[in-house]
Amino acid sequence: MSSPIVSAVIPTYNRAHCLHRAVDSVLAQTCGEVEVIVVDDGSTDDTTAVVASRYGSDPRVRLLHQPNGGVASARNAGLRAARGELVALLDSDDTWAPWKLRLQVACMRRRPEVGMTWTDMEAVDPDGRVLSQAYLRTMYSAYRWFPTAGALFRDSIPLVEIDPGLVSIVGDRRFYAGDLSSAMVMGNLVHTSTVVLTRERLQAVGGFPEQYRAGGEDYPFHLRTCRLGPVGYLDVSAIQYLRGGIEQIARPENSINLARAFLEVITPIIEREGATLTLSSAMIDAVLAEAHGWLGEALLDAGQTHEALLHLTQSLRHRAWQPRLLGLLALTALPAPVRGRARRAFRSLKGLD
């Protein structure tokens, strides 16, 4: 097989029941040559048999095996094996629209300085019902600081100008490009299954951090990618993102890893570069308050009261009036059995359970 234009990396763990939908959505792309690299992260189901029976004779699909090491490790294994000039990322329970790569490749050809592009997404339930036609801004709360794509990017091009053949899909939507090195400090703006990167940008980023085994690896990767040069956003939903799958049940360690990764990544940037970031002091205080508060609450839920107290207090130093956190801080003084009951009641009152 000649060198593919795009390599799609799909990490998977015990998702034999849905993996074929992700793979099929890549093979159905209309952009030209693709390869699919499925990285089996130590699955105990029949993933190998499914891939062999459906794709064993298709040279575009490669299956790699590794002991279970987490999604970051699996993605990195796939990235190392990728042969394409562009590399795309896809989770094994998500699917792409057939025109996705065609449009992103065209945008990146139009603006070759752009090292990464991503798109909006539809949210669907396990039965395939569309829950939201444009879910990116709902899923990633950092968008509240940037109410429009124009608030993030200076430059934009109509997508129909880039690919007139997709006018019925893109309508009046646009391709935005520019520098997000400061904006990304406010939180993640990028959904991994929508991403396409150039090989040069990928090599500069150096892969996903593997220390956050149970979650938290995406944001540091995307933040670093955005801080290494121009990036681009296509204001159109190009994937279906599964919500409510059985593997997506929240676990306390996931929340702690996500929150800790966020805080550990933004703190040194703010300390070293705070004066040069294009963010107001109020925004910087707000994001530090949010980061410490998020980690403090996750630690409290996990019973790690002492460390939770430190982060809740630090959050209040950045933003004093936070009634919710003041309530959580009061809970830390209660005996453990009472604290657990009070915490459950508190969450129930807030509609969080």
Q: How far apart are CA 141 and CA 204, in angstroms?
A: 27
Residues 57 and 173 in one domain: yes
Q: Among 127, 159, 122, 116, which Cα is nearest to 139's?
A: 122
pLDDT in tens, 51-65: 999 999 999 999 999
Tell whether 16 is covered by a domain. Answer: yes
Domain that holds residue 45: 6-248
Residues 220 and 129 in one domain: yes
**91-95, 129-133, 228-232, 326-330, range with the lowest pLDDT:** 326-330
What pTM does this model have?
0.92
Confidence band of 330 (pLDDT split at 50, 70, 90)? confident
Phi, psi of 186 (to 5 degrees): -75, -10
Q: Which of 248, 276, 298 is the last residue of a domain?
A: 248
Reading the block at residue 59, the tokens are 């040279």
Strand 6-12 and strand 86-89: the pairing is parallel
Tell whether 50 is covered by a domain. Answer: yes
Backbone conformation region of residue 112, classed left if phi is above 0, alpha if psi is from -120 to 50, else beta: alpha
Contact indicator for 159, 106 with CB cutoff of 8 Å: no
Residues 54 and 164 in one domain: yes
Tell whether 1 is covered by a domain. Answer: no
Tell whether 79 is covered by a domain. Answer: yes
Residues 265 and 308 in one domain: yes
Size (the chain), residues: 353
Residues 72 and 173 in one domain: yes
Residues 193 and 69 in one domain: yes
pLDDT at 250 over 50: no
Q: Among 198, 214, 205, 206, which Cα is nearest to 184's?
A: 205
> Exposure string (b/e) for 258-272, b if CB count within 10 Å is 16 or more?
bbbbbbbbbeebbee
Q: Among 68, 65, 67, which Cα is nearest to 78's?
A: 65
Q: How far apart are CA 204 and CA 327, in angstroms?
A: 44
pLDDT at 341 over 90: no
62 strand-pairing partners = 37
Mean pLDDT of 93-110: 97
pLDDT in tens, 263-296: 999 999 999 999 999 999 999 999 999 999 999 9
Q: Which CATH number goes with the domain that contains 274?
A: 1.25.40
Q: Among 47, 37, 119, which Cα is nearest to 79's?
A: 37
Q: Which CATH number goes with the domain that contains 155?
A: 3.90.550.10
Long-range contacts at 299-306 (CB < 8 A, ≥ 24 apart): 299/256, 300/328, 300/331, 300/332, 300/343, 301/252, 301/255, 301/343, 302/252, 302/253, 302/255, 302/256, 303/336, 305/332, 305/336, 305/339
pLDDT at 232 over 80: yes
pLDDT in tens, 146-178: 999 999 999 999 999 999 999 999 999 999 999
- Mean pLDDT across the chain: 92
63 strand-pairing partners = 38
Tell whether 300 is covered by a domain. Answer: yes
**Dihedral (CA of 277, 281, 282, 285) sign:** positive
pLDDT at 191 over 80: yes
The percentage of the chain sitting over the pLDDT mark of 90, rounded to a whole number, equals 82
Confidence band of 244 (pLDDT split at 50, 70, 90)? confident
Q: How far apart are CA 18 and CA 336, in angstroms?
A: 41
Residues 229 and 166 in one domain: yes
**140-154, 193-207, 329-343, range with the lowest pLDDT:** 329-343
How many domains are contained in the chain?
Answer: 2
Check residue 10 and report its DSSP letter.
Answer: E
Q: Among 218, 209, 160, which Cα is nearest to 188's?
A: 218
